[in-house]
């Protein structure tokens, strides 16, 4: 958790890195940064932003559930042979 307020520039870097893992957040991130009127984000705002994005993280991880199962089955078959 950051000890000081986070500047818009710093938050932009953080959110861009998150968007590389969860591409569906790119539009949300753009809107968030455009609508930020203060030059800094407080710790509380930072936590709220991450919390509001958490459903997208879950969606992204669930998106590949079937592929993970298939990969696990393929590895088991490979190891049997």
8 Å CB contact between 5 and 39? no
Q: Is the pTM here over 0.75, yes or no?
A: no
Alpha helical stretches, state H, 36-64? 43-63
Let me know if residue 50 belongs to a domain: yes
Domain count within the chain:
1
Q: Any idea how long the chain is?
A: 81
Query: Does residue 1 sit within a domain?
Result: no
State pLDDT tens for residues 46-58.
Answer: 888 888 777 777 7
- Host domain of residue 60: 6-80
pLDDT in tens, 65-77: 888 888 899 999 9
């Amino acid at each position: 958790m950051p000890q000081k307020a986070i500047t818009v520039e710093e938050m932009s870097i953080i959110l861009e890195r998150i968007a590389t893992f969860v591409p569906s957040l790119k539009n949300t991130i753009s809107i968030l940064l455009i609508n930020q009127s203060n030059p800094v984000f407080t710790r509380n705002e930072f936590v709220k932003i991450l919390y509001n994005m958490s459903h997208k993280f879950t969606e992204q991880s669930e998106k590949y559930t079937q592929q993970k199962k298939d990969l696990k089955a393929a590895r088991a078959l490979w190891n049997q042979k």
